[in-house]
Structure 1
Amino acid sequence: MSGVFGYLGRATEQPVAQVIQTMSTRMRHVFTQQLEQTVISPQVALGRRHLGLLNQQPQPAQSADGKVALCLAGEFYFQEAQRHQLEREGWLDSKASAAEFALALFLRDGASGLTKLEGAFTCSIWDGRTQIFWLINDRYGLYPHYYAHARGAFAFAPELKGVISAPEIPRRLNETALAEYLRFQQLLGNKTWFADVQLLPPASLLRYDLEHDQLSLEQYWDWDQIGEITGLTFDEAVEEASRLFQRAIQAMTAPPLRPGIFLSGGLDGRIILAFADQPTPPPTFTFGAPGSRDVVYAARLARRAGAEHHWVPLEDGRWVLTYHDLHLALTEGMHSWMHAHGISMLATARQHMDVNLSGWDGGTTMGGFAVLEEHQADRYYRYPPDETAFYERMFRAFCQDVTWPGMSEGEAASLLSGAGRSHLRDRAFESMRQELARTRHYRPAHRTDYFIIQNLIRRSLQNQIITQRSMLEVRCPYFDYSFVDFMYCLPDTIRTRPEFRRAMLTKRKPELALVPYEKDDRLPHSNQLFRNGDGFLRRGKAWINRRVGGLFPQRPRLYADYEAYLRTDLRNWAESVLFDQRTLERGLFDQAAVRSLWQQHLAGEQLWTIGKIAPLLTLEMVMRRLFDVASPDGRELITNKEEDYVT
C-alpha cells in the first residue's frame, strides 16, 4: 500500500538516516513498490512508498525557503475551486502536483486547511519554522498508518514493521490484541500487536512537538456530525443517491489512470459497473472456484455490460502456499491467510488496469445492514433493549456471525488456561465493551453501523484494500463524502429498506438486475413481478431436482473452500506451523487444546471449524514475523520480479 513514513527525535539512539533506510528496506515487498526517503535535518527524516501511478513527482514537496516539507499518499477529489483560489492568490502554480497543492493549502491555512479536503489520503508535514510535525488523514482513514512515541522519538509508517524499525519503540506484546484475535479473528479500535504502537484514527490531526517531545491527537470529524433529512420519499432518496454516486464514479474514473472493477455475483461491484458505463466499460476481474456463483454470475454481468472480463480460477488450495508469506508481509496478520483470495490475480489485473473501483463496504453504507444483511434479523443488533444486551449481542456477532464462526467460550478457555493465560479469558469481552462505550453519543439507529464501519470494516475488511494496493491503486466510491453524508441523513425507514440498492441498480442499468444475486440466488430487480416470477421458477427447478436428481445445476456459493484446503493441500504446512518446535517452546496456547481442535477439523464432522484453526496459525506467523529475532540484514520477504509474484 502507498503510504508515508518518518522518524523524528531530538536525541535518537541511531542516526535518522540509518533508521529511515531500515524502515524503507523492511517495507518493500513487491517489485511494483517504489520507496524514497529524505533526511530533512539530523533530527527529522521523511519518506514515502508508492506505485508510480498517483503522485509521480518526487517528494517531499517543499516551501520556497525549504523550511516546510510535505509527503502525500493518496489523492484529493473535487478540489478544483480550492486550487483556483490558491492560484489567484499566488500560492500555487497551475501545474502544481497534488502534494504541492496540499503544501500551499497548509502554508496559507495551517493544518486545519487540510481537514477541509475531500479524498483518500494521509499527509505528513514537517514545519521547520515551528519545529512541529503533523500527520493528517482523511475522515475515514482510507490509507491506514501506524505510529508510536517512546523514549524521545516518534515514528510512523503504513506498516508495523516500519514503526518498530525505530530502536526506541518497544516490542511488547499487546495481550488484549492477542485475546481479541483469538475470539474475533481481528483487532478492535486502534490496537495493534504491540502495546506501544497504535493505528492512526480516522480524521486525525496528529501534532508532534519535537522541541518539547510532546504528542497530541485531535479528531477533526466524527459520524455524529452527519445531520438528518426528513420529507423525502423513497423514490426521491433513490434519485439523489444515484446522482451523488454517479458524481463519485465520474471523479474516480477520470484519466489518466485506467479503471477496472473486481466483480463478483454480489451487488456492490455490479452497481459500480452500472454507473461506470463509459463508451468502453472498464475491464472486470473475478477469482474463484469453477462453477461457483461468483464466477458464473460475474461473467454474465460482464457480458451484459459489454466489459472485457478476466477470471483467475482457484482450482485447489496450492495457491495459498505461494502467497501466504506475501499476504502476511502486506497485512501483518490483521487479516488471516484464509482471506487472501484475490492476491493471485493482482499481477494479471495490473496489465489491464491501474486503479480498482472497489465495492468495499457498499453493503453497510448503502444497504443499511449492520451485521447479517438480513434486515429483519439485523434489528436484533440495531435496536437492543439496553446496554447490557447490546454488549452481549455484539460480542456474539463478532465471535460467530461477521466472519467464519469462531471458537466457543469453553474452547477459548482451554487454550488460554492451559498455557497460564487465564487472566485473558474475559479480556476480549471487556475490550469490546470499552470500544462499544465509545459509541454512546451516536444516534441509536446508526450506532451499530458506525461501530461496524470503525471496527469490522476498517480493522478487518480494509486489509483486502491494503493487499490490492501492493499492485494497484484502489478507489472507494462508497466512501465518497457527499454520498455517505446523504445516506446517513436518511430516515432509517428508507435507508434500511433492502430494495434500496435494487432500485438504484434497476433504474441505472436494468439488464444487470437480470443476473441473480449470489447470496439468495434471486434477481435483484426492483420490480416484484420479476423477483417473484424468478423465485417461482427457481422453486420449480428445485422441486424437479429433488425428484429427478441434478437436472438443473446447483451452483455453490463458496468461491474458495478453505476448510477443504486445510485438510488436503495445506495440511502439511498447517501442521508445520502449529506443532513446530518454535511454536511449542513459545507456549502461547495449551498444546493439548490445539491438537484437539486440529483433530476435530481433520475429522470433517463439523461445519466451519476453520474459524478456530486459522487464528492460531496466523498468530504464530505474526510472532515469527514481528517478534522473533529478525534475519541478519533485517529484510522482509521481497518479490523483485513480476514472475515471482505470479503463480
Structure 2
Amino acid sequence: MCGIVGWVDFGRSLAQEQSTMRAMAATMAQRGPDAEGLWLGEHVAFGHRRLAIIDLPGGGQPMTVGPDGALGRGSLAREGVIRDGSAVAALTYSGEVYNYRELREELQALGHEFATTSDTEVVLRAYLEWGDGFAERLNGMYAFGVWDGRRQRLVLVRDRMGIKPLYYHPTRDGVLFASELKGILAHPEVEAVVDADGLRALLSFVKSPGQGVYRGVHEVRPGHLVIVDRDGVRPRRYWGLHARRHTDDLDTTVRTVRELLEDIVDRQLITDVPLCALLSGGLDSSAITALAAVALRRSGGGPVRSFSVDFVGQAEHFRPDALRPTPDAPYVHEVADHVGAAHTDIVLDTAALTDPLYRTSVLVANDLPNSMGDLYTSLYLLFRAVREHSTVALSGESADEVFGGYAWFHDQRAVNADTFPWVAALRPSAADAPEADTCAVDAAKTRNIVDLLDPDLAAALRIDEHRRAEYHSALAEVEHLPDEDPREHRMREICYLHLTRFVQILLDRKDRMSMAHGLEVRVPFCDHRLVEYVYNTPWSMKTFDGREKSLLRAATADLLPESVVQRRKSPYPSTQDPAYERALRDRLAEILADADAPVAALLNPKRIHEVLHTPVDDTGGFGPARRAVELALGLDQWLRRYPVRLVVGA
C-alpha cells in the first residue's frame, strides 16, 4: 500500500518540476514510509511513497517500461528520481491485486518477461497487453495512474468498491491527481476553496460520488477509470452492480458464500510482512479472524494475531442502548480463545480521545472534519498500536452493507422512508419524542450540524434538498429484474444505496486512519465476486432465519463460538464516558466565547447555547447533539489548520 501523486500538463514541460513533485509526494509520507520515487517526463510527472508489502527489494516505484521492455524504478534510481521521456508506459500504483500470480502466469504465456515478483509489475504489463480492458481483470483494492507514452495519455483507475482513494483536479492543459486531497492542495497553483456544493457534500452525511469537497477537485468513482489526453478528461465505468437472477437454492448459496470467503481470505493473507486481524467479537470480524486462523494453520503459518479496541471502564460500566446491546470485550476474548489467536486489547481513555494532538492528527489524516469524533480518534489510536506489531491487518468492514446487517435494514420506517435509510434511522424528528420527555425533544431539535448553522447559511445550502436529489440520483442507477416482487424490489434498492453510498464513508475512515500510520487494512468482504453474488441473492434468502446477516452466519457458524453466532449486531464501539462529551462541550463553549473563532460566522449562537445546556448524551456516539457538537468542533479546527476559503452564495 502506498501514496501516489501525479501531474499531466500538455502545455508545458514537466521535466524540471522535481521540487513541486517532491512537495506533493511529501504529503503522502505516512502512507508510504519505506521509500520515495519520482519519474519526470516531458508532459507528465509521477511521485510515489512506498509501503513495502510484496517483493520488498524489487517493487520500487514509479515503475516504467522502456522501448526495449526493460524496467525502470523510481525509488531504486539515484536520489529516487528518473528523468525519461522515452518510456512506453509508466505506473504509480497504490494497493494490492490479489490475483496477480494468475495474471503473471497468463502474461508470461503471452511472452512477457518479468524482472520482479511484485504485483506492481503485473499491473503495468497487464496494461501493455490488454489496454483499458485490463482493469476488468484485476481482483483487489487499488488506485493508480498509468501513463501511456505511445498514445500520450493518462489512465487513472480505482477499484470496484472504492477501497483505495484517488482524487483528481482538471487544469487548463491537463490534470493533477493524488491518493489524498492534501497531495493536490500541495500544488502551488491550487487554492483550497470550498463552495456551497462542497459544504453540502461535507454536511449531509451522504457520500456524493465523484465529489471532492474542494472546488475543482473530483474523486475517481469506484469501478471507474478516467482518461486524460489532449482532448480533455473523460471518466468511464468499467464495473457496476447489475441485476441478475439468482438460481441457487439455499444450501448451495450458503456453500458458495463459504467457498468464496475461504478463497478471498487465502488470497488476502499473501504478504511478505507481519499480518494480523482486527477483532471486535461481532460476527463479521470473528468470521474473518477464524477463517484466517484456519488458513494459517493449514499453511504452517502459526497462530493469527488479533487486536481489539476498548475504553477504560467500558466493560464494567457498559450501558446497553438501541445500537449497542452488549459490550465487545467478553466476545472478543471468547473468539480469541476459540480460534487460538495471539490477542491484544488496546484500551483507550478519555484523555487520549480528547487530546488536541490526536484530534489534529485525525483531521490532517482525513483532510476534512467529521461528525463521528471518537469513532475516528479511537480507530486512529488503535491502528497506531497495531502498527507496532503488524504492517497488514484484515478487517470485517463492509459485511453489514453486503449481507444486510444494520438495524435499519429491518426497520420498516427507515426502509420505506423517501430518503437514505441511515438518515431516516439516525435522525428522528421531534415528533418521535414523547411530549413529557423534554430532553428527547431538545435532542430531536438538534438532529445534525445543519441545526447549529447560521439560519441564512442553512437556507442557502438547502441540505435537505441536496440529500433528496442525491437519493433519487442513486435510485435511478439501480437495475431491477422485470418480475421482482415489491419487497425484493425495494430491498435491492436499499442494498444498492449501502454498497455505493454508505460504505464509502466507512471505507474512507478506515483508509485514512490506517494509512496515517503506514498500516494496510484489507477488507475481504469487499471482494467484488462476493459482493456481486450476495447482491443478487433474494432478500428473503438473506434473512432466511429471521435475523440479520443470515447467510454469513450460516456460512461460518461451524468456526465460531455459539455466543458469537447468536450475538446481535453491535457497531464499532464508542466511549460512554460522560466526561468525553463534557470535554467536547467545554471546548465548544470556548469557541462560542471567541469572536475571532473561524467557525463562529457559520454558527447560530442561540442553538449552540441550547445544546450546551441539554443533558450530556451518553448513547455511544450516535446521539444527535453529540454528533453535531463533534462536527462544529471539527469545522473550527479545519478552518484553523487548513487555508480554506469558503465561498457560499452567488
2:104 matched residue in structure 1: 83
SS at match of 2:151: coil
Deviation at residue 150 of structure 1 after TM alignment:
2.6
Deviation at residue 339 of structure 1 after TM alignment:
1.7
Deviation at residue 477 of structure 1 after TM alignment:
0.8
1:52 matched residue in structure 2: 52
Match for 2:610 among 596, 610, 621? 596
Residues 308 and 621 of structure 1, relative CA distance in 2, 3 Å threshold: same
Determine if contact 1:8/1:155 at 8 Å carries over to the other structure. yes
Deviation at residue 180 of structure 1 after TM alignment:
4.6
SS at match of 1:167: coil
* Structure 1 Cα separation of the partners of residues 354 and 502 of structure 2: 23
1:63 matched residue in structure 2: 65
> Aligned pair 1:260/2:280, yes or no?
no
Deviation at residue 407 of structure 1 after TM alignment:
6.4
Residues 311 and 144 of structure 1, relative CA distance in 2, 3 Å threshold: same
- Stretches of structure 2 that go unaligned for 5 or more consecutive residues are 68-86, 319-326, 430-439, 481-488, 646-650
SS at match of 1:217: strand
SS at match of 1:490: coil
Deviation at residue 601 of structure 1 after TM alignment:
5.6
* Structure 2 Cα separation of the partners of residues 39 and 21 of structure 1: 11
Q: Which amino acid aligns with 2:394?
A: L
Q: Which amino acid aligns with 2:347?
A: P
Determine if contact 2:226/2:234 at 8 Å carries over to the other structure. yes
Q: Which amino acid aligns with 1:47?
A: G
Residues 28 and 435 of structure 1, relative CA distance in 2, 3 Å threshold: farther
* Structure 1 Cα separation of the partners of residues 267 and 115 of structure 2: 19
* Structure 1 Cα separation of the partners of residues 452 and 585 of structure 2: 21
Residues 381 and 599 of structure 1, relative CA distance in 2, 3 Å threshold: closer
Q: Which amino acid aligns with 1:131?
A: Q
* Structure 1 Cα separation of the partners of residues 525 and 274 of structure 2: 19
Deviation string, structure 1 residues 277-306 (Cα, Å, up to 9, x no partner)? 232331111111241521222112101211
Residues 121 and 348 of structure 1, relative CA distance in 2, 3 Å threshold: same
Match for 1:220 among 238, 241, 245? 238
Deviation at residue 265 of structure 1 after TM alignment:
2.4
Q: Which amino acid aligns with 2:497?
A: F
Q: Which amino acid aligns with 1:61?
A: M
Determine if contact 1:34/1:49 at 8 Å carries over to the other structure. yes
> Aligned pair 1:565/2:580, yes or no?
yes
Q: Which amino acid aligns with 1:2?
A: C
Q: Give the share of equivalent positions with the same residue, in percent.
A: 21
Deviation at residue 489 of structure 1 after TM alignment:
2.5
* Structure 1 Cα separation of the partners of residues 615 and 34 of structure 2: 42
1:287 matched residue in structure 2: 309
Deviation at residue 513 of structure 1 after TM alignment:
2.4
1:324 matched residue in structure 2: 359
Deviation string, structure 1 residues 492-517 (Cα, Å, up to 9, x no partner)? 2112342333222323x14x223476
* Structure 1 Cα separation of the partners of residues 452 and 626 of structure 2: 16
* Structure 1 Cα separation of the partners of residues 91 and 616 of structure 2: 53
1:612 matched residue in structure 2: 628
Structure 1 stretch displaced more, 11-20 or 151-160: 11-20
1:548 matched residue in structure 2: none
Determine if contact 2:193/2:644 at 8 Å carries over to the other structure. no
Determine if contact 2:598/2:640 at 8 Å carries over to the other structure. no
- Stretches of structure 1 that go unaligned for 5 or more consecutive residues are 522-555, 630-647
> Aligned pair 1:41/2:55, yes or no?
no
1:273 matched residue in structure 2: 289
Normalised to the residue count of structure 2, the TM-score between the two structures is 0.80
Determine if contact 1:563/1:609 at 8 Å carries over to the other structure. no
Deviation at residue 315 of structure 1 after TM alignment:
3.0
Q: Which amino acid aligns with 1:487?
A: V
> Aligned pair 1:3/2:3, yes or no?
yes
* Structure 1 Cα separation of the partners of residues 501 and 409 of structure 2: 20
1:364 matched residue in structure 2: 401
Deviation at residue 145 of structure 1 after TM alignment:
1.2
Determine if contact 1:10/1:152 at 8 Å carries over to the other structure. yes
Determine if contact 1:268/1:362 at 8 Å carries over to the other structure. yes
SS at match of 1:206: strand
Q: Which amino acid aligns with 1:588?
A: L
Determine if contact 1:7/1:16 at 8 Å carries over to the other structure. no
Deviation at residue 380 of structure 1 after TM alignment:
4.3
Q: Counterparts of 1:20-419 in structure 2 under 5 Å?
A: 20-29=21-30, 33-34=33-34, 36-54=36-54, 56=56, 57-65=59-67, 66-93=87-114, 95-184=116-205, 187-209=207-229, 211-212=230-231, 214-224=232-242, 226-230=243-247, 232-276=248-292, 277=294, 278-279=296-297, 280-289=302-311, 290=313, 291=315, 293-321=327-355, 322-333=357-368, 335=370, 336-340=372-376, 341-366=378-403, 368-369=404-405, 372-373=406-407, 376-377=410-411, 379-382=412-415, 384=416, 389-391=417-419, 395-397=423-425, 399=427, 408=445, 415-418=452-455
1:514 matched residue in structure 2: 563
Determine if contact 1:7/1:44 at 8 Å carries over to the other structure. yes
Deviation string, structure 1 residues 397-443 (Cα, Å, up to 9, x no partner)? 46459xx998647986664444555222x234334423432332423
Structure 1 stretch displaced more, 598-607 or 154-163: 598-607
* Structure 1 Cα separation of the partners of residues 146 and 573 of structure 2: 45
Deviation at residue 365 of structure 1 after TM alignment:
0.8
* Structure 2 Cα separation of the partners of residues 114 and 392 of structure 1: 30
1:634 matched residue in structure 2: none
1:503 matched residue in structure 2: 554
SS at match of 1:136: strand
SS at match of 1:91: coil
Determine if contact 1:188/1:459 at 8 Å carries over to the other structure. no
Determine if contact 1:415/1:589 at 8 Å carries over to the other structure. yes
Deviation string, structure 1 residues 522-558 (Cα, Å, up to 9, x no partner)? xxxxxxxxxxxxxxxxxxxxxxxxxxxxxxxxxx995
1:475 matched residue in structure 2: 522
* Structure 2 Cα separation of the partners of residues 121 and 484 of structure 1: 17
* Structure 2 Cα separation of the partners of residues 167 and 69 of structure 1: 24
* Structure 2 Cα separation of the partners of residues 269 and 459 of structure 1: 19
1:439 matched residue in structure 2: 475
* Structure 2 Cα separation of the partners of residues 565 and 353 of structure 1: 30
Determine if contact 2:257/2:552 at 8 Å carries over to the other structure. no
Deviation at residue 586 of structure 1 after TM alignment:
5.6
Normalised to the residue count of structure 1, the TM-score between the two structures is 0.80
SS at match of 1:466: helix
* Structure 2 Cα separation of the partners of residues 395 and 342 of structure 1: 23
Structure 1 stretch displaced more, 334-343 or 303-312: 334-343
Residues 244 and 350 of structure 1, relative CA distance in 2, 3 Å threshold: same
1:532 matched residue in structure 2: none
SS at match of 1:202: coil
Residues 140 and 573 of structure 1, relative CA distance in 2, 3 Å threshold: same
* Structure 2 Cα separation of the partners of residues 468 and 412 of structure 1: 26
Residues 393 and 616 of structure 1, relative CA distance in 2, 3 Å threshold: same
Deviation at residue 217 of structure 1 after TM alignment:
0.5
Residues 411 and 151 of structure 1, relative CA distance in 2, 3 Å threshold: same
* Structure 2 Cα separation of the partners of residues 398 and 201 of structure 1: 26
Q: Which amino acid aligns with 1:627?
A: P
2:436 matched residue in structure 1: none
Structure 1 stretch displaced more, 444-453 or 4-13: 4-13
Residues 33 and 598 of structure 1, relative CA distance in 2, 3 Å threshold: farther
Deviation string, structure 1 residues 437-487 (Cα, Å, up to 9, x no partner)? 233242333222121222221134531233123331111110112222221
* Structure 2 Cα separation of the partners of residues 453 and 170 of structure 1: 32
Deviation at residue 572 of structure 1 after TM alignment:
4.8
Deviation at residue 139 of structure 1 after TM alignment:
1.1
